[in-house]
Amino acid sequence: MKFYKYQGAGNDIILINNLQDKIEESQKAELAKRYCKRHFSIGADGIMILENSEEYDAKMRFFNPDGSEGEMCGNAIRCFAKHIYERGINKKKELNIDTIAGVKRTWLTVKNGEVKNVKVDMGKPLIKNQNLILHVKGIPMKIFSLEVGVPHAVLIVNDLVRLKVNELGKDIRNNPIFPKGTNVNFLQQLGKNRFKIRTYERGVEGETLACGTGICASGSSAVLLGLADADKPIEIEAEGGKILVEFTKIGEELETVFMSGPSEFIYEGEI
């Protein structure tokens, strides 16, 4: 089977082309569990499967390393759009991609045939709870709970360097208040509309170098908490790279969040 390896802000993803429907539904979760294993296989933060869409330009299915299917992945969808364009599957510079979280519009910046940047309409951030207090390791923590395609918890912190992301993230991710689990984002403000982030990802069950939906959720939280100006781009720096977040509003309410950033083809092979 042929595969393609990409990364977006350090999130490394395996892409498998299933436009010919050769991979059966029962096999997809097992492929993710098998091929995402680091040291024993290709190794990745997830697998995206390219499929046909009846209504849109293509369909993206995303599976986590534990075999669970994710509704969306922000860094993966940028890589997905790059693959579709550069491999000649669809040469439009505006692609509508079907996902479990709904259709996602993407805009491609292309130079000399290479996709340099992808902007994604991530939809409306859905606020669940702005003042949630959880006791983690006996310490009360204020958490902003919301969804940007997938569930996220956002915590504002003063020092990311010393933070025990895996330890704290695991406790919050598995708290019974989140029946489907949640991704956990720790956000530190560097300046006006500038932040750093570290994320514990559900499905990976550990910290990753970046999480696109988590960056969008964290940018949304920063605006709603008065830490950032929604009328200007917000720069969020993950361990694997920087992503820009922008918004449209209706009055003071956030209507749409956009994510912009690069993606990189690493290599292709057969397994």
In 3D space, the residue among 213, 214, 182, 222 whose CA is nearest the CA of residue 198 turns out to be 214
Angle, alpha carbons 162-241-85 (nearest 5°) = 150
Amino acid of residue 64 = N
Distance CA 8, CA 45 (A): 11
CA max distance for the chain? 55
Instruction: Annotate 159-210 with DSSP letters as a single string.
Output: -STT--HHHHHHHHHT-TTSTT--EEEEEEEEETTEEEEEEEETTTTEEES-
Residue position matching structure tokens 């790059």: 82
- Strand, helix or coil at 100? coil
**Spatial contact of 110 and 159, defined as CB atoms under 8 Å apart:** no
Residue 68 per-residue DSSP state: P
Just list the catalytic residues: 73, 211
Distance CA 64, CA 201 (A): 10
Residue 106 in tokens: 């993407």
Cβ neighbourhood burial of 232 (10 Å; 0-12, 13-18, 19+) = exposed
In 3D space, the residue among 107, 76, 80, 112 whose CA is nearest the CA of residue 92 turns out to be 107
